[in-house]
Amino acid sequence: MARVKQTPRNARENQERKKRRNKPGTVVLHEIRKWQKAVKLIIPYAPFVRLVREITNQVSSLVTRWTPGALISLQEAAEDCLVRMFEAGWLCALHAKRVTLMKKDIELTRRLTGIGRPW
């Protein structure tokens, strides 16, 4: 009887396994849940401090020093304000029967709540 060369049962045995592919939107939902659970501040500290110092210099040259506690409190308040504004903007988008948050939703939110510059 003649010998036959053995071939691998599955051609993929020699190859690397394919990376598992998620359905579109799944990774985004995981990221959203991750950031919603997070209790730390989202905006990086150093750029926020630079912005605060820049605005302070434009408004008044008398204030040159900030305590770390004051900067952290200011950052927490700013992030809280942004989160509330995005939540209200998202409700405006839902009211318009859209899922995507658009610039006009944020502008409407700012106009209704009085946040930001007056029109």
Identify the top-confidence range among 10-14, 90-94, 112-116.
Answer: 90-94
Residue 62 lies in a domain: yes
Q: 53 in a domain, yes or no?
A: yes
Does 85 fall in a domain? yes
How many domains is the chain partitioned into structurally?
1
Q: Taking residues 14-22, what's their average pLDDT?
A: 78
Which residues span the domain enclosing 92?
A: 43-113
| Distance in angstroms (rounded) separating the CA atoms of residues 76 and 67 | 14
For residue range 94-113, what is the model confidence (pLDDT) as tens digits? 999 999 999 999 999 999 98
Domain-located, residue 86: yes
Would you say 115 and 81 are in contact if contact means Cβ atoms under 8 Å apart? yes
Report which secondary-structure segment, H or E, holds 79. Answer: helix 68-95
pTM: 0.69
The per-residue pLDDT for 95 is 95
What's 94's domain CATH number? 1.10.20.10
pLDDT digits (tens, 9 = 90+) for 54-97: 999 999 889 889 999 999 999 999 999 999 999 999 999 999 99
